[in-house]
Amino acid sequence: MRVSVLLAVPAPGVAPGAAGEAPARVPAAAAAVVVDVLRATTTLTVALSNGAAGVMPAATPEEAFALRDRTPGALLCGEREGLPIPGFDLGNSPYEYGESVVRGRPLVFASTNGSIALRAAAGAGRRVLAAFVNLEAVVERLAGEREVVILCSGKLGRFALEDAACAGRLCARLRERGAETAGPGARMAESLAPRDRAGTRALVQGCSHGRYLRSLGPSFARDVELCASLDAMDRVFEV
């Protein structure tokens, strides 16, 4: 297995390849692992665990409204700058996606960064959701893959510590199972990886976006706490 890391997905209008070391287009034969620790891939993992029928990523709220209108029973989900979008059914808190709310419902998802990363991975053979909460399950799911590209959602095309550190932890675990990591993006990510649950919690709580979300109030702080929980879930999903 060969593993590479894109440290941030280019934002719309940014030249491909400017944000990291992995290819701008994920090869069709590769498995793409999308990471948005705070909060998209954590939230979507919770939602799919609770029976959501699937995820349709949208680049903008306007696109999301159009997708919802064409999809019976769909829920409009997402955020801008961490906050719920007017007219949407749900924001980006994992605690909003309970079984009674999402079971059997497709999700039209438009977040600031995570949905952009999901769309960037659209050409891959597989598109796997990863976060600190389900890292070991992701490692198990990737067994047998020949090429893996980890896409860190980042922040508006820029590096985000929590996503890179999560990618690094995933690289380290895959190397323990015989994988080869390739490129400076993977090496940098692995150098940032926390070693244990306490280190993971401290990193996610203390990173820039973690501090920002916590400043928005107790419910956001609770989200950050969940997102900082290493291997809290044994489920992994492809979208």
pLDDT digits (tens, 9 = 90+) for 110-162: 999 999 999 999 999 999 999 999 999 999 999 999 999 999 999 999 999 99
Candidates 60, 55, 58, 6; CA nearest to 32 is 6
Q: Does the structure show a pLDDT above 90 at 26?
A: no
Residue 217's Cβ-count burial label (10 Å; 0-12, 13-18, 19+) is exposed
Rounded percentage of the chain residues whose pLDDT exceeds 90: 92
Residue 191 lies in a domain: yes
Domain of residue 126, residue span: 2-227
Residue 233 lies in a domain: no
Residue 140 lies in a domain: yes
Residue 236 lies in a domain: no
What does the mean pLDDT of the chain come to?
A: 94
Q: How confident is the model at residue 10 (pLDDT cuts 50, 70, 90)?
A: confident
Q: Which residues pair with 148 in a beta bridge?
A: 3, 31
Residue 176 lies in a domain: yes
Candidates 211, 37, 239, 222; CA nearest to 134 is 37
Residue 218 lies in a domain: yes
Predicted local confidence at residue 12, as pLDDT: 64
pTM: 0.93
Q: What is the mean pLDDT of residues 216-227?
A: 98
Residue 152 lies in a domain: yes
**Residues 206, 207, 208, 210: is their CA dihedral positive or negative?**
negative
Q: What is the mean pLDDT of residues 71-90?
A: 96
Q: Which residues pair with 129 in a beta bridge?
A: 34
Q: Does the structure show a pLDDT above 60 at 52?
A: yes
The CATH code of the domain that includes 120 is 3.90.1560.10
Predicted local confidence at residue 21, as pLDDT: 44
Q: How many domains are contained in the chain?
A: 1
